[in-house]
Structure 1
Amino acid sequence: MNTVEQTLRLTGTGPTKERAFGAAMRQVQSAATGEGSGVTFRVEPLSLDVLSAAEHRRTERFLGILFARTRVHFEITVRVRVRITSLDLDSVDFAVREEKLTATQHLLQMR
């Protein structure tokens, strides 16, 4: 088993604050797995820092003058420190079991 600590910088966007934060947090697993070696089976967050949070507003109008509405879009960038526990499958010794079938057994198992 290998245990490694990494710092990830992730960005999430969405129509609400919660969705923007959720989009950033959904990236933790894939970002941590992509940088590790072996098979990752635990990603444990240790700390979270918000680097930047922005709210973008724009006003839209139908035909340029009618029915004004304000559209809001949120963007958040976080730094997450995680502990990744993985297993290197190259170091695992697999037992080899070989089974010999007779010609009749082979024909019966073919589909």
Structure 2
Amino acid sequence: MKHTRHILRLTGTGPTRDKAFADAMARVRQAAGERTTGVCFRVEPVDLEVVEAVEHRWRERFLGLLFARTRSRFSLTLRMEVRVAALDLDAVDFTVREERLTPLQHALRMR
């Protein structure tokens, strides 16, 4: 098992602030796994910084004339430092156990 630290830059978008943050946090494990060799099984956030938070607003109308409403979408960019615990499966020694099935067992897919 080895521990590494990575600095990740994550973005998330959503119709509300909470969903934009949740979208960014859902990408943490995938982004940490791409930078780590082996299988990562624990990702701990160490530091979190908001780089950019933007609210996009626009007005839209039905058929260009009726029912005007203001829509908004939130975009969030985070800089996060994480500590990753990973296991290198290439270093693990696996023992090989081979089973021989009789032709009848093989035909019936039994062990």
Superposition TM-score, scaled by structure 1 size:
0.90
Provide the C-alpha distance between the structure 1 equivalents of 2:67 and 2:21, rounded to a whole number of angstroms.
Answer: 31
Q: Deviations over 1:2-45 (max 9, x none)?
A: 11100000000000000000000000011111111011111111
Q: Which runs of 5+ in 2 are unaligned?
A: none
Cα shift at 1:89: 0.9
Alpha-carbon distance in 2 for matches of 1:13, 1:100: 54
What stretches of structure 1 of length at least 5 have no aligned partner? none
Identity %: 55
TM-score, structure 2 as length reference = 0.90
Is the alpha carbon distance of 1:98 and 1:67 closer, same or farther for their aligned partners in structure 2, counting shifts above 3 Å? Answer: closer
Residue 89 of structure 1: aligned partner = 89
Q: Provide the rounded CA distance (Å) in 2 between the counterparts of 1:30 and 1:99.
A: 37
Task: Provide the residue aligned with 2:64 in structure 1.
Answer: 64
The answer for the alignment partner of 2:17 in structure 1 is: 17
Report the RMSD for the aligned CA atoms in angstroms. Answer: 1.3
- Distance in 1 between residues matched to 2:106 and 2:6, nearest whole Å: 49
